[in-house]
Amino acid sequence: MSDLLNGHAAAGGAAGAGPRALDPRARIVAVVSFAVTVVALTTFGALGAALGLALGAMAWARLPAGPTLKRVAVMDGFIVLMILMLPFTVPGQPLFTLWGLTASLDGVLRALEIALKANAIVLMMLALAGTMDAVTLGHALSRLGLPDGLVHLLLFTVRYIAVLGDEYGRLRTAMRARAFRPRNSHHTYRAFGYLVGMLLVRALERSERILEAMKCRGFDGRLHLLDALRFRRADALFAGLWGLTLAALAWIEVAHGAAF
């Protein structure tokens, strides 16, 4: 699973390799600009190039191909229904017939377009942003102008996900010790409801202790973010190349569109 749940930072790999060496802010801006560009693309040449770029970024970030693609496939699982239905619901030139339903060419193309966009963006996100630890993400977002309250909430959440994950594990162990086995019964749902309720109660009690401890240490409502984010020459180079890459995607789009 993710490092979020294990409680330790740095999402694998050497700190100085590939995109991990770059300024997190540059990486976040790069992912967002990539996503906005890709969503606007419509030709398959450009979308294919975008997916190629995302796969390249995955290799550059030295993400293990198997688990990463599996994760992307999980996301595809969410949309597979919609993708499979589109060919039959978009009107257009009939392509084939299945169980009396006619699939249109336009529908198949539309489904393919969505799948390409979604996969390219998620892969790029995992490669550039998913490779920073969650606290760095918070700091970088703060430097990019996200409101303080939201950044603090993010940092608190990140800090306590692993703690609450452990709490959940203890409660599940206690349930197993009482021979609880989940099945399709009212008893199961009530037990899970109590579990979530208990988790919230324990979370609240923990947060009271946290607040007191923080106040003892002079907490005045502000988290002072200490970091050494620096925009170096390598980041400027990356930003420049990134701009050129996105421009190239746009060029493929226009050139391809003209050829159609």
Partner 1 sequence: MHIVDGALSTPVVVAGAALAAGGIALGLRRLDMDRMPAAGVLSATFFVASLIHVPIGPSSVHLIMNGLAGIVLGWVAFPALFVGLVLQAVFFGFGGLTVLGVNTVTIALPAVLAALACRRGVTHPDARVAAVWGGLAGALSIALTTAAVALVLTLSGEAFVPAARLVFVAHLPVMAIEGLLTAAAVFLIHRVRPDLLGLFTRPAVAGEGA
Report the residue from 30, 49, 51, 86 that binds partner 1 according to the rule CB under 8 A. Answer: 86
Contact segment (CB under 8 A) with partner 1 among 52-60, 183-191, 238-246, 252-260 equals 183-191
Of 90 and 233, the one with the shorter C-beta distance to partner 1 is 90
Q: State which of residues 6, 64, 194, 251 lies at the interface with partner 1 (CB under 8 A).
A: 194
Q: Give 6 or 234: the residue with its C-beta nearer to partner 1.
A: 6
* Angle between helical axes of 44-60 and 105-128 (0-180°, round to 10): 20
Which residue, among 257, 155, 260, 161, has the nearest Cα to 203 in the 3D structure? 161
Q: Looking at 21, 65, 189, 241, which residue binds partner 1 (CB under 8 A)?
A: 189
Closer by beta carbon to partner 1, 38 or else 55 = 38
User: Over the Cα atoms of the chain, what is R_g?
Assistant: 23
For partner 1, the closer CB: 210 or 225: 210
Burial class, 95, CB count within 10 angstroms (exposed 0-12 / middle 13-18 / buried 19+): middle
Q: How many CA atoms lie within 13 A of 42 on its CB side?
A: 6
Per-residue H/E/C for 120-166: HHHHHHHHHCCCCCHHHHHHHHHHCCCCHHHHHHHHHHHHHHHHHHH
The residues in 14-43 that bind partner 1, with binding defined as CB under 8 A, are: 31-32, 35-36, 38-39
Site for partner 1 in 230-259 (CB under 8 A): none
Q: Does 170 bind partner 1 (CB under 8 A)?
A: no
The yes or no reply on residue 179 touching partner 1 (CB under 8 A) is no
CB 30 within 8 A of CB 128: yes
Total residues contacting partner 1 (rule CB under 8 A)? 90
Say how far apart CA 18 and CA 215 lie, in whole Å: 40
CB of 31 to partner 1, least distance (A): 7
Closest CB 233 distance from partner 1, rounded Å? 27
Q: How far apart are CA 48 and CA 119, in angstroms?
A: 11
Under the binding rule (CB under 8 A), the answer on residue 46 touching partner 1 is: no
Of 97 and 157, nearer to partner 1 (C-beta) is 157
Q: Could you tell me which of 111, 120, 144, 148 has the C-alpha nearest to residue 38?
A: 120
User: Measured from the CB of residue 248, what is the shortest distance to partner 1 in angstroms?
Assistant: 20
3-state secondary structure of 103: strand
Tell me which residues in 106-165 interact with partner 1 (CB under 8 A). Answer: 107, 110, 113-114, 116-118, 121-123, 125-126, 129-130, 134, 137, 147, 149-150, 152-161, 163-165
